[in-house]
Amino acid sequence: MKLVILDRDGVINLDSDQYIKSPEEWKPIPGSLEAIARLNQWGYRVVVATNQSGVGRGLFEMDTLNAIHDKMMKAVAQVGGRIDAIFFCPHTDADNCDCRKPKAGLFREIAARYSADLAGVPAIGDSLRDLVAARAVGAQPILVLTGKGAKTQKDPQLPADIPVYPDLAAAVAKLVI
């Protein structure tokens, strides 16, 4: 089974420092939905692993998060793609949970759900926390420059061996050659 793990905000959709708090605020990054469809066409299962501390902060409820994800799933389906599963952490840093990236709990949950070894599995994110979580389980972290990616690329803690692409579409083009 071919698997790819994507962060949500800043990779699939435009990010906001004020959080994506409603379906109306969720807007895809140009080319990202088609990139997911292309992954599907090449036999990949696409899974999203996303921190959603807006729930824990009381900025929106679980039903709103579900509505945002429903909009995303329908938008991907409209271009012929699908997201197989969404794994999310609703906690804040103060909760000190194991699922909030940069901890690897979401990735371990994905591995368990799919009975998969994540060694070498592409994990595409726009922040250092995405990349750290991926590396902790042996996945292949990939940085995109959308969202917080351009800032992340300048972070002195970014390992030099992390592949960097302008956006999800460019990263996917490299994966499916």
Catalytic residues: 7, 9
- Asked if residues 146 and 8 have their Cβ atoms less than 8 Å apart, the reply is no
State how far the Cα of 10 lies from the Cα of 159, in Å rounded to an integer. Answer: 20
φ/ψ of 115, rounded to 5, equals 45, 50
Calculate the alpha carbon distances from 129 to 78, 81, 95, 138, 143 in Å: 30, 27, 16, 14, 11
State how far the Cα of 136 lies from the Cα of 120, in Å rounded to an integer. Answer: 11
